Structure 1
Amino acid sequence: MPLALATPALAQDPHAGHQMPAPPAQTPRTAVQADPHAGHQPPAAPAAAAPKPPADPHAAHQTPASPKAAGATADPHAGHQMPATPSTIPSTDPHAGHQMPAAPAAAGVDPHAGHAMPGAAAGGMTAAQQPVGNAPAPSVIRDNAADRVFAVRDMERARSILAKEHGASRISKVMANFLEWQDRAGGGGYRWDVEGWTGGDLNRFVVKTEGEGSRSEGTELAEVQALYSRAVARYTDVQVGIRHDLEPGPSRTHATVGFESMFPYWFEVEGAAFLSNKGELRARIEGSYDFRLTQRWILQPQAELGFSAEDIPEIEIGSGVTHVELGLRLRYEIRREFAPYVGISFERSLGRTADFVRRDGDRVENTTLVIGLRTWF
């Protein structure tokens, strides 16, 4: 009988039953590729020669517990060691690479404080976030597009005209408020009140003159004022200058401080104080209003009050309220700058002034019909 030789048992192939792909014949391997199934516990080799279906490659993987939420699917690759993210994939974190500060202890602290954000202005705010009241003044435009097409000299001339027409222009006006004849006793009388000025919106040189007289006695009152006028509010000008009285004599020269203003609802008011070269202080205030009955018919009431700080007997002026004047005139504007009118005027001397008027034999009170012209150019 032949002797049987003892053959050592062969070790089991850990990849028995796996269909392993053949390595590429022409591609040199620079490094040993890790077996993605290393450490798997494969099933035992079949005892029979009959072929068996291949074992599950993910058998015995340690998978996480199924999520509690209904409908969630477990990750079939849980537990795999995934390769590192390729460096060519761009980072989606907008703060990648920033040196981030430590987490703030108090709520509400901006974790990005100190970062230089794009478009930020002074104080950490963009220009759109700046308060309107604190916004910086816009820079002067130096690069005008029109200069690329037209001559610079022509454009400079056009810009200077534009500046003048929007506040830098100098204009003039002459306004005759009263040019009238009065039906007085003794042959009637006349009166004028004219103002002219030249300048701009803020600064003006003003000349005023007013007075009255009669056919029998000639000019009884006459004055001229030369004033510097400065706009101090939207509808108010302050005026300073001198006033010279031509009649009655002896003539006087006064330092003058006054104002002209448009009150709410279009009441026109003006007033002035006068200090004469003899130390006499006087003042007056007057106002008027235009009731527009139609586009051309205007009814204008007018009032004036005079004041004096002391008696001035030689010109029939007493201390206190010196006189009051009330008028009502109806004008028809043939054109805005040419309007004839008719009306009535009432004047009365008051207080100590009335005493001086009686002493000289003049009338204390006068009511007259007037016909006149209001015009300007």
Structure 2
Amino acid sequence: MNTNRHLSKTVGGLLSATLLAVMPLSALANGQAPFAKDKGWAPPVGDAPHGRLLIDRLEYAAGDNEDSVNLDFKAWYGGDYNRVWLEGEAENVVSGGSGGAIENLDLLYGRLISPYWSVQAGVGYQLEYGPGPNHDRGYAVLGLQGLAPYWFEVNTNLRVSEDGDAWADFETEYDFLLTQKLVLQPRFSTKVAFDEVKEFGVGQGINNVKIGLRLRYEIKREFAPYIGVSWNKKLGDTADLVKAEGGDASDFRLLGGVRMWF
């Protein structure tokens, strides 16, 4: 009996979480929080404008062949239902080579479609510079971000360039609270290209898998230094393009950086 009762509660909890994740847009469009009207609760969220800048990663990455400084940030302004986002990810080689890349710089409009998920759409820019000629391109982007069951943060995007090249990326991460201040964060990301673009070293198919592990200490919630490791493995046609240029398809790095928000 105890086992059946526990199983019933678990299934009920999972069903509730699933319903929350797929609530229709109409309730939000009417300015109501999900279930607020039926239950008579006050809406827990609103649309009063406010903003935040999160520097998720500002780090020095030391590898076997080269070292780089990496930046990953998100800034937004708006309410809980409608927001404008500016997101970017960049890498600059500082030792063992030269050059770098703005992997993405996106200007997006975001709309909440359920308590845990929002859709984003907008435009973006990508640049790879030195050594050799620079390459850049603009693109349109459609994305989805939010919290999956068990509190996994998910961010996935489909991008189509001005030349018609298309690719998609997926990233997920999770925060393990080891103590009130010590947090272990694993991160997984991958990219899939639907077209080969040699100027950017991109082959058709799955481009790579990247796994990171960062241990941060929150001196305060707004400022947290961290250490960690990352491993990036190029795959398929992309790996062949890297090897043809004399590069290594696998890259392991030690990390040290800071996470902060304002």
Which bracket does the TM-score occupy, shorter chain normalised?
0.7 to 0.9
Q: Is the 8 A contact 1:311 1:318 kept in 2?
A: yes
1:203 match:
82
Matched, 1:287 2:146: no
| TM-align CA RMSD | 2.2
Deviations 1:333-366 (A, max 9, x none): 0001100000000001100000000111111111
Kindly tell me: are residues 166 and 325 of structure 1, through their superposed partners in 2, closer, same or farther at Cα, counting changes over 3 Å? closer
Matched, 1:338 2:223: yes
1:193 match:
72
State which structure, 1 or 2, has the greater radius of gyration over its C-alpha atoms: 1
Q: Is the 8 A contact 2:126 2:138 kept in 1?
A: yes
Q: How does 1:327-366 map to 2 (within 5 A)?
A: 327-366=212-251
Q: How does 1:18-33 map to 2 (within 5 A)?
A: none
2:99 match:
218
Q: How does 1:1-377 map to 2 (within 5 A)?
A: 167-186=46-65, 188-215=67-94, 216-248=97-129, 249-377=134-262
Q: Which residue identity is paired with 2:206?
A: V
State the alpha-carbon separation in 2 of the partners of residues 368 and 177 from structure 1: 18
Aligned length: 219
Offset of residue 221 of structure 1: 3.9
State the alpha-carbon separation in 2 of the partners of residues 304 and 244 from structure 1: 20
Q: Is the 8 A contact 1:223 1:247 kept in 2?
A: no
Q: TM-score, normalised by structure 1?
A: 0.55
Q: Which runs of no fewer than 5 residues in structure 1 stay unpaired?
A: 1-132, 139-162
Q: Is the 8 A contact 2:61 2:69 kept in 1?
A: yes
Offset of residue 185 of structure 1: 3.4
State the alpha-carbon separation in 1 of the partners of residues 66 and 125 from structure 2: 28
State the alpha-carbon separation in 1 of the partners of residues 240 and 45 from structure 2: 54
Consecutive aligned runs of 4 or more in structure 1 exceeding 6 Å deviation = none
Offset of residue 265 of structure 1: 1.5
State the alpha-carbon separation in 1 of the partners of residues 170 and 257 from structure 2: 23
Structure with the bigger RCO (C-alpha within 8 Å, sep 6+) is 2
Partner SS state of residue 342, structure 1: strand
2:21 match:
none
Deviations 1:26-80 (A, max 9, x none): xxxxxxxxxxxxxxxxxxxxxxxxxxxxxxxxxxxxxxxxxxxxxxxxxxxxxxx
Kindly tell me: are residues 290 and 166 of structure 1, through their superposed partners in 2, closer, same or farther at Cα, counting changes over 3 Å? closer
Instruction: Flag the structure with higher strand content.
Output: 2
Q: Which residue identity is paired with 2:115?
A: R
State the alpha-carbon separation in 1 of the partners of residues 240 and 53 from structure 2: 38
Q: Is the 8 A contact 2:59 2:255 kept in 1?
A: yes
Deviations 1:232-268 (A, max 9, x none): 0000010000011122532111110001111121110
State the alpha-carbon separation in 1 of the partners of residues 218 and 73 from structure 2: 18
Q: Which runs of no fewer than 5 residues in structure 2 stay unpaired?
A: 1-34
Kindly tell me: are residues 221 and 358 of structure 1, through their superposed partners in 2, closer, same or farther at Cα, counting changes over 3 Å? farther
Q: Which residue identity is paired with 1:354?
A: A
